[in-house]
Structure 1
């Protein structure tokens, strides 16, 4: 897909600049230039496409629709809705709170909270560009599975008494909301949303690719394989434990995942690290602490962490 761009980078780095292809600094520079432009192109293209499709959805009407759904069906719909919402783990919380205020069952709201940061368009765009559509489809499928099952289990545990805020019933006017946008307005809104998201993440992409380039050029493959390769049983739990304290977007994490896998880390282990970073974070826990009891937050993190580890082991077994 990007063969032509790779030839341009080769001519620039090896031809015009005349750098030694075997040098670590050259390999790092080549990786940085090639991946930065490639990721930017993919981000703009896929975010624009999803943003355009999002103009056909109305958050308030979806919230009203979810109010009428039974468990599990609602879990599935909420997890799918998470794919078209451009949120990280912290910015998804206001809509999560809105779902609770609308008296949507707790398990359904948690399915959305799990799915939204894990399956957002940035993660999908980067996965598609770095690993292809098959890996992307598997990731989305397993990510939805974690969100659906995780939310369903939380709902069955009947933990509503751990919600610390009063639930204010919403009025019945949500279903009357209509969206009437022309084709031109939809394109304009999609482009504006794409520009807004790109403006927020492009520096993180540069940072992620920069760190990835340094690892690519200077960290020995043997060092990474020694701890995370060869399907060691502890690699996946270790990756999840490492990911939870971190707080980063998929834009800054994904370039590192590409490098780590190229250095010998198994894909399932690498994706477990990314899923833990994007779906679970300490800042998210601190924000949730204002509206949920610590016991509920602990149960939520524990269930999702177990689901992510299961996905990691499945990826390592299948690929």
Structure 2
């Protein structure tokens, strides 16, 4: 329905041509803006309900328990793999996790894996590259989230969260304590939850629009064949270059799979192509723009730097294995 509305608005009302870069970019902008804002509101309401009724303190204590022996990072990565969100759409859940007091490393494990692996991309990968490469892609995406989340969690980066998120955390704790003593029926609580969720949407609205605007421009105006000349098998620096080229891009894993298929068909090594895909869906500039609302630039730099290193290493390993 959202795509149909975007098509009607851009091509019928605005009169733009679907075959032009401008038409494609504007259509992409309206479609993704509406989709992400609706998703942001829905997830914020769901997380608000969970925070109001779910014993988040027990969950937090459970996740930091030594008895899990690191399995909390696996569970977070697995949850990221089965949720069909792109990098920008994952951020509302990231806010919900942080708001609920979930350890930051566990939250990062989810944030890393969620855009990399989803069921649509897996189905497309099986049809395009076969089960072996698909299995390597899925396992590597989950491992990347686990290892990245564990390392980032050990770095004690909570102090680099934005003041906005810190205030949300404080309000959440105070609100949670108040709700525990309150027996107000759900239907009376719901308007308050919705109001708080609208406040979260309002707080990130500008960042959503700027981020998607960047992605829409790249979507429509990056010339075809621009990347292939730098990502050939003979170029030793093809993997880091592919990651560098991918950062300004913006797409979900399912959307980038057809591009990867073209890359491989033109002789680009599978590992280099996979590194490009991982960087597109996990290290986009639009994502960094959105993250600026919840993190300081230092934390964004640490997060991006760590994941960039892991993706580059993975790309080289894939080229050796495959």
Q: What TM-score bracket applies, with the shorter chain setting the length?
A: 0.5 to 0.7
Whether 2:313 is the aligned partner of 1:310: answer yes
| Corresponding residue number in structure 1 for 2:72 | 74
Distance 1:65 1:308 in 2: 31
Say which of 114, 118, 121 aligns to 2:119: 121
Distance 2:70 2:248 in 1: 30
Most deviating of 309-318 and 60-69: 60-69
Cα offsets for 1:54-91 (capped at 9, x unmatched): xxxxx887976465123732111100110111100001
Contact 1:89/1:279, CA 8 A, preserved across alignment: yes
| Corresponding residue number in structure 2 for 1:148 | 146
| Corresponding residue number in structure 2 for 1:159 | 157
* Cα pair distance change 1:231/1:78, threshold 3 Å: farther
Q: Which runs of 5+ in 1 are unaligned?
A: 1-58, 175-207, 209-213
* Cα pair distance change 1:66/1:74, threshold 3 Å: farther
The within-5 A match list for 1:174-253 is 224=228, 227-230=230-233, 232-253=235-256
Q: TM-score, normalising length from structure 1?
A: 0.62
Distance 2:129 2:61 in 1: 37
Most deviating of 268-277 and 60-69: 60-69
Say which of 269, 272, 285 aligns to 2:272: 269
SS in 1 for 2:63: coil
Q: Aligned-residue CA RMSD in angstroms?
A: 2.9
Structure 1 segments, 4+ long, off by >4 Å, are 59-67
Contact 1:66/1:78, CA 8 A, preserved across alignment: no
Contact 1:231/1:266, CA 8 A, preserved across alignment: no
Contact 1:119/1:143, CA 8 A, preserved across alignment: yes
SS in 2 for 1:68: helix
Q: Which runs of 5+ in 2 are unaligned?
A: 1-49, 181-218
| Corresponding residue number in structure 1 for 2:259 | 256
* Cα pair distance change 1:67/1:231, threshold 3 Å: farther
Contact 2:90/2:111, CA 8 A, preserved across alignment: yes
* Cα pair distance change 1:114/1:231, threshold 3 Å: farther
Q: How many residues are matched?
A: 219
Whether 2:93 is the aligned partner of 1:90: answer no
Contact 2:60/2:101, CA 8 A, preserved across alignment: no
Say which of 98, 101, 116 aligns to 1:100: 98
The within-5 A match list for 1:54-65 is 65=59
Structure having the higher helix fraction is 2
Q: TM-score, normalising length from structure 2?
A: 0.62
TM superposition shift of 1:256: 1.2
Distance 1:140 1:121 in 2: 10
TM superposition shift of 1:145: 1.2
| Corresponding residue number in structure 1 for 2:291 | 288
* Cα pair distance change 1:66/1:259, threshold 3 Å: farther
